Amino acid sequence: MEKRAIIVGASSGIGREVALLLLAEGWHIGVAARREESLMELKAMAPGRVEVMNIDVTKVDAGERLLALIEQLGGMDLYFHASGIGKQNRMLTEDIELSTMDTNAVGFTRMIGTAYRYFANRGEGHIAAITSIAGTKGLGPAPAYSATKAMQSTYLQALEQQARQRRLNIRFTDIRPGFVKTALLNDNFPYPMLMRPEAVARDIVRSIHCGRHVRIVDWRYRVLTFVWRLIPNWLWRRFKI
C-alpha cells in the first residue's frame, strides 16, 4: 500500500532531510515551503513521487493550500510540520517577537489544525511536528521562541487528548531537538552540542515509525532537559544563559 506524507518546511534543514529519507523508503510525498526552487530539486529526484506547493504558513490561505496539496498527492497518511523561525532577542525587538509568534504560534495552529481536521474526517492519520527543548523553560535570550515552542508541545498534547476522547485514530509525535546545524542558527553564536540535520532526521523517521509520543533528540539533550525541569523557578530566574 502506498504511503503518502506531506512535509511543510521541506526546503532546507531537517524538513528536507526527512523528505529525502521518506523518498528513499518509497513514500509519495508532498513538499511545501515559501521557497519553491529548493522544492523543485526534490521533485527532480523522483518526479512521479513528489508534489510541490508554495505555502507560507503565516498567510490566511495556507490551510487551503495544504488541502490542495493533499488532493494533488491523492491523500495523506502523515503530516510532518518542520516550519519555524527563531532568533535570540535579548533586546526584545518588537518585530522579531511578533514575527516569531506569527510563524510558530499562529501559523503552527493553522497548519496543525488543518491536518487534524483532515484526519478526523478521514478516520486516521499521523501528525508529527518539530517543537524544541527550548519549550522546557522560559529562555531569557529568546523569549518568543521558547514561549512558542512550549505552546506547540502543549497544543499537540491537547489535541492528542481530544482525539482520544473523540475516539479518532490520530497519532501524534512531538519532536524536540536541541541545537541543530541549520540555517535557523545563523547568528554566529557558538552553540554547544550541535547536531547534524541528517542524524536528527534519521532519529525523527525512526520515532515516527515507532509511534513515539514525545522524542527529545538526542541523549545529551534528554539529560539536559531532565536537569532543567528539576531547577526551581526562583533559581532559574538567576541563571545566566
Q: Give the residue numbers marked as catalytic.
A: 145
The CA distances from residue 234 to 113, 227, 230, 237, 238, in Å, are 36, 15, 12, 6, 7
Sheet holding 214-217, edge to edge: 50-54, 28-33, 4-8, 78-81, 124-130, 169-177, 214-217
Mode of pairing for the β-strands spanning 214-217 and 169-177: parallel
17: which 3 cell numbers? 532531510
**Preceding peptide of 218 cis, ω within 30°:** yes
The CA distances from residue 224 to 65, 145, 149, 218, in Å, are 38, 18, 17, 10
205: which 3 cell numbers? 523517521
